[in-house]
Structure formats: structure tokens, C-alpha cells
Amino acid sequence: MSFDASEYGRHVADVYDETYAHLTADDAVDRLVTLAEDGPVCEFGIGTGRLALPLVRRGLSVAGVEGSPAMVAGLRAKPDGDQIEVAVGDFSAVRVPGEFALVLLAFNTIFALPDQAAQVACFRNAAAHLRSGGRFVVEAWVPDPGAFRAGAALRPVRVAEDEVLLEAAVLHPAEQRMTTTKLRVTDSGIRLLPANHRYAWPAELDLMAELAGMRREHRWADWAARPFTDESRQHVSVYRREEA
């Protein structure tokens, strides 16, 4: 089956913002403003603008690539959404005109690509967008096969008075693939939010960067730049394109 970059957005676009409204973007935006220096910024998987819009409001020029027209419509409906140029398509291949100080791929979106080849292509596409010395920033979770029993796991993501968000997952370790469905329970009923992930360990991402002519500059446990350790369950990795 061929990769459909619009599939995830078709399932989640209408509830994406309210599902993830509990996540704060402040630390991420502060860190990205520092890393981008004077900009401009290109975000792969820009979605409805959770990070892009705050960056615009901080004075940066932002463009993006997004696979889902429905997600782009959500971005366009927001204040300042019309200031962001968005190319619709697969961010492992689609080019946005211009050179950028920073390319961003946040919130585990690198794992939405279907296989290693597509992820390597994504790193190369990011490098092609960067000016000399520009940065590619990747936020992703650290694979944790030990969290699965008999290849499956169920975990609470959020429990609140008005919403319960659960995630059911099945692991396919031979392919480094995980299929998930989030179950969002509210007083309106149950909503299923499916997604597919081709996961990669941080060291594998480092090698992809090297293949694309970039080197790792930083790796932190979160956007607040806490140290990355054996216990870290996510990472923010910063890669830099070699100076010309």
C-alpha cells in the first residue's frame, strides 16, 4: 500500500486542537526562537499551527509542509494563519521555495513516515531547505519495547473531568513499526483516532542526519533543554547543516 500523507489528518483534523489543548508550547517556542536566530523557519507537518502560529507572533517568518488539506484549513481559520505559506504534500519530498535558518519536525511526526527510506529522504529534504549552517530540529519519543506485553500496550494519556484519552498500541518490532489508536472519551461519546508509526532510535536518526550532510549539535530530554539520560522517554535533537 502506498503512503498517503493526508490520511492522519482526515481522521483527526476536526478534533486535533481540542484533543491536544492540554499541551503547552511555551518552552518549545522559546527554544525555537533562540535556535532560529533571525529565521526564517519551515515546519514539516505544520498541522493546525500549534507551534507555527506562536513563532509568527514572536516575529519569525514561517512556512510549512502539511500532508492534510483538512489540517491546513484548520490553520487558515485561525488569526495570523494567512501569514504562513503552506505546501500540501509529503514532507519527505515536497519543497518550499527559499532557504531557511531552521527546519522543524515536532511532536513525533518523523515517525509518521512509512519506512526508513522515507525518513532518510526527509532528512535530505530538510537539509535541502537549509541555508549553510542552518538547523534541523526533531522532537520524538524514545522507543520503549519493554512497555509492551505480548506485543501490545494500553496506557492513559490524559484523565480529566471532561475527557479521558487512552492509547492502545500494537508493536511490530521486526519492522520497527507501531500501530496505535487513541480513544477519546467525552460526554459526546467515543472517538477513535488511529495512527501508524515507523519508529527509530536516536542513534538511527543521527545516522540519517549524517547521510544528509548534517551533524548533531544538541540532544535534550525536552524543550527546556534538560539533559538527555538513560531515563529520558523523549528527545529534542538539533542537527546542523555543514557550513559551505
Q: What is the CATH number of the domain that holds 152?
A: 2.20.25.570
Instruction: Look at residue 244 in the predicted model and tell me its pLDDT.
Output: 67
11 and 129 co-located in one domain: yes
Q: What is the dihedral of CA 168, 24, 209, 181, to 10 degrees?
A: 10
Report if residue 189 sits inside a domain: yes
Instruction: Look at residue 3 in the predicted model and tell me its pLDDT.
Output: 67
Domain of residue 32 covers 6-141+201-241
158 and 222 co-located in one domain: no
Helix (H), strand (E) at residue 105 = strand 100-105
Instruction: Look at residue 13 in the predicted model and tell me its pLDDT.
Output: 93
Q: Provide the CA 49 distance to its chain's centre, in angstroms.
A: 12
Q: How far is the C-alpha of 210 from the C-alpha of 187, rounded, in Å?
A: 48
Q: Provide the CA 162 distance to its chain's centre, in angstroms.
A: 27
Please give the average pLDDT of every successive group of 10 residues along the chain, which has 244 residues: 76 92 95 96 98 98 98 97 97 98 98 98 99 98 95 96 97 97 96 96 99 98 98 98 83
Q: In what order do the strands lie in the sheet containing 130-141?
A: 85-88, 62-66, 41-44, 100-105, 130-141, 234-241, 214-220
When divided into structural domains, the chain yields a total of: 2
170 and 132 co-located in one domain: no
102 and 122 co-located in one domain: yes
Q: How far is the C-alpha of 220 from the C-alpha of 6, rounded, in Å?
A: 30
Indicate the pTM of the whole model: 0.95
178 and 105 co-located in one domain: no
